[in-house]
Amino acid sequence: MLRGKVVFESWEPDKYPARVKQLLNNYSPQIGAQFQEEIRDTQFGWPNKTRRKNGELVGSPRDIVDTGNFASSQTPGKVVGNKNSGYSLTFQWKAAYALAIFLGYYNNRFEKEKERDWISPALKKESLLAFFVQNWIKGGK
C-alpha cells in the first residue's frame, strides 16, 4: 500500500474550477495526439485480408486508417461546462462511420464486424488522473 500526506498551504476552493478547466485545456493536445497514435497503430485484429479503398492489402493486426478521412475527422478537444456543473473535455470524430468503427457493424453479408476501440488504450497511456497529479501545482497559484 502506498500512503502519502497532503498539506494545503492555502485553501481557496473558489479557484479550483478555473484550475480544472485550465488543466483540461492543457491535457487536450496530449490526449488528442494519443488518439491519433492509437488510430494509426497496427493493433486491431481482423478475421480476413481486405483490399482498402487506397489499394493497400491488409491483414491482421491492422490500423484503422484507410483513406485517412476518419483520422482527419477528429476535432480538437473542447472543454465544455461551467464552474457550477463541472467541466468535461470532449472530442468528436466527424466521419459518418466513426461510431461503426467504435461499436462494430454488420457487413453486407449480415456478419458482425468487430469493434475497434482507439479511445480506451489512449486514455490508459495518457491518464487524465496522472496528468492532473503531475500538473496541479504547476501554475496553480
Amino acid at 138: K
Average pLDDT along the chain = 88
Q: What integer pLDDT is reported at residue 91 of this predicted model?
A: 96
For 19, which DSSP code? Answer: H
Q: pLDDT tens, 27-37?
A: 999 999 999 99
Quick one: CA dihedral 9, 13, 15, 17, positive or negative?
positive
Residue 8 pLDDT > 90: no
Q: pLDDT tens, 48-91?
A: 898 988 898 999 998 998 889 999 999 999 999 998 888 999 99
Best CA proximity match to 62, nearest among 118, 6, 21, 23 = 118
Confidence of residue 117 (pLDDT cuts 50, 70, 90): very high
Q: What integer pLDDT is reported at residue 6 of this predicted model?
A: 56
For 86, which DSSP code? Answer: E
Confidence of residue 141 (pLDDT cuts 50, 70, 90): very low
